[in-house]
Chain A
Amino acid sequence: MLLLRMAFRNLFRQYRRTILTALSIGGGYIVFVLSVSLVEGSYGNVIDIFTKDSVGHIQIHRKSYREKPKTYLTIDNRKELEELFHKESKIISFAPRVLSMALAYGKEKSTPVKVLGIDPNLESGVTRIKEKIFSGDYFDSIPNADGYYKAMIGSSIAKSLKINIGDELILIGQGAEGSIANDIFIVSSIVGNEDSFDRMTVYLPLIASQSFLSLSDEVHQYALLVNTPKRNVEIADELQETLSNLEVAPWQRIETTFYQTMQADKKGNNYTLVLIVFLVFVGVLNTILMSVLERTKEFGVIRAIGCRPSKLILLINLETMFLTFLSISLSLVIVIPMIYWFANTGFLLSEPIDMGGVMFQHMRGEFSLYVFLKPMIIIFITSMLVSLPPGFRAARMTPKNAMDIN
């Protein structure tokens, strides 16, 4: 095509300048892709760490339980529900939980604790609880010879009650019908450290917690993991439709503070990206302006022989688009393997960093169409916008004035 050939040759007229511009567009694109990959990757990472610590991707409760966490507000159609979870391919795992508060007694002291009844097998499919055992062994649901169940306790409980593995732990709380609940448990392990969210939590096997609270086979909560964590909100909405008597909430609605902190952080990153785009913008604008100014006379001739003003703008635009296309295509050759490595291997930071309360040390990017496409679209739009003012300038002059310029 003659127009493309023309654009191409015009670019190589001042090839040194063209190469510099191409480098600034390409460099801008690479930095842009890297930062989008980093932002998406590390937030993906943080979300992964955060959700698998306890919340999961989606939580289900009895309606109004979250506003008023009464022990009797339970989910009781468990069989039906779990069949649904098994059938739904988007759900990869689920964990039933019983929640309560209690007073814990060690040898001489007492402290208020959170009681979390979990199914030992199912829970480890949703959270990293197994890897968080600090000492002792991950528990099971089998009572010992005396009929006592095992309990796993947070570090702060162990410290303040001065109890250790093998010791007895007495819990006193309130059962579902208001009766006093009390039971003895044997400490099987200590979980996490004193920074963990569960430092004041007592984990009980699900059946033990149910009998402690005089519940039948009921639970207060289900935590779910889904196959596409990024679409958990949609999946939660879908589930909500079928489970109208329950509340289905994505983690973003459960942990609002964390979510908002993260969003704010992300916004901060966007300013960096705006700066990159601006720098590319200035560099490109300068070149296009120069190359248009130099060719004012030529544009005058083109207009004189009958090129419409709008077509001239298009021609100038085409040149810029073409340059942008070439620069980005070449950059892709470099940036695709780079991001591939970044997403699959990544690197270890010398110091772990704290992102919204979650520590992480392994930096990994994201490798997805979005990571490449978003910067591409933004840079294309930017360079198109950039080439408009010089184009308008060239189109507005009378051909005579344009041709007079030397």
Chain B
Amino acid sequence: MSMVIEIENLTRKYGKGIGEVVAINEISLNIEYGEFTAIIGPSGSGKSTLLNLIGGLDKSDSGSVLLAGRDIAKMSGSQMSDFRRDRIGFIFQAYNLIPVLSAEENIEYIMLLQGIPSVKRKERVQEMLFLVGLEGLGHRRPSELSGGQQQRVAVARAMASKPEIILADEPTANLDSKTGMALLDMMRQLNEDQGVTFVFSTHDEMIMKRARRLIHLRDGLVALDERNSNATP
């Protein structure tokens, strides 16, 4: 099977001199199309840094990231933006919706960036809201939604652009365990039904049990890369 993400000798350091922190230390790993992978590890182990580097939100010090065969270091600012817009969906720990836009508009916005005509956008917004179980709440602003609902909007926004990869950085961290679990089930459903590759980070035991592959990070290194054959359905 072909790789959607190929990482080679990737390194990211912060600071200089004695204060230097190697957040990602020469990591190499590949992720196939359609995988449902969790990056796990204690706080400070480099999970966010790795996801940011994969999504081109941050710049590495050395090594390379290939997305669908393309070296992201070789893309210009606009090319990287367009790649993210069309092929990557992001879900962040803090819900990170645009506060002045309603749930619907947040979902619509990314399609606006893609240049999708208005009528089609509106249709797809409703589809997405249905998919994440928020029918009828589309007109609410983020501040009028609960944490779990906001994170569902974030998932809907990430899905709306029909990406190949969704990168989610501790998407359940700010949710209670029941809501978190529900969100994860929804993500896995989308993975199974639509074949979207998911890479998400977590340090929650219950959540990681849902993943099919577990990449353990420790101090910026891959400590263990295991297949979870008995992932809870």
Contacts and interface: CB of A to CB of B under 8 A. Distances in A.
Residue among A304, A305, A307, A400 with the highest chain B CB neighbour number at 10 A:
A305
A305 B90 contact: yes
B112 A305 contact: no
A307 B113 contact: yes
Contacts of A28: none
A308 interface: yes
A253 interface: no
Given A2-B112, A298-B99, A311-B113, A304 B57 contact: yes
A309 B101 contact: no
Contact of B57 (A6, A9, A298, A403): A403
B90 to A, nearest CB: 5
A400 to B, nearest CB: 4
A301 B98 contact: yes
B108 A2 contact: yes
Contacts of A398: 57-59
A115 to B, nearest CB: 79
A9 B102 CA distance: 11
B112 A298 contact: no
Interface in B91-109: 92, 96-101, 105, 108-109
> What is the interface residue range for chain A against chain B?
20 to 34
A193 interface: no
Given A2-B105, A403-B57, A308 B96 contact: no
Interface string A303-338: 111111111000000000000000000000000000
A400 B52 contact: yes
Contacts of B112: 2-3
Nearest to B56: A399
B157 interface: yes
> What is the interface residue range for chain B against chain A?
20 to 34
B71 interface: no
Interface string B125-166: 000000000000000000000000000000001000100000
Interface in B52-90: 52, 55, 57-59, 77-78, 81-86, 88-90
B78 A309 contact: yes
A124 interface: no
Contact of B110 (A305, A310, A399, A400): A305
Given A2-B105, A10-B100, A305 B85 contact: yes
B80 to A, nearest CB: 9
Contacts of A306: 81-86, 88, 110, 113-114, 161
Contacts of B52: 400
A307 B85 contact: yes
Contacts of A308: 77-78, 81-82
A257 to B, nearest CB: 59
A302 interface: yes
6 contacts: A2-B105, A2-B109, A305-B110, A307-B81, A307-B85, A308-B81
Given A2-B105, A304-B84, 4 more contacts: A9-B101, A305-B113, A306-B85, A398-B59
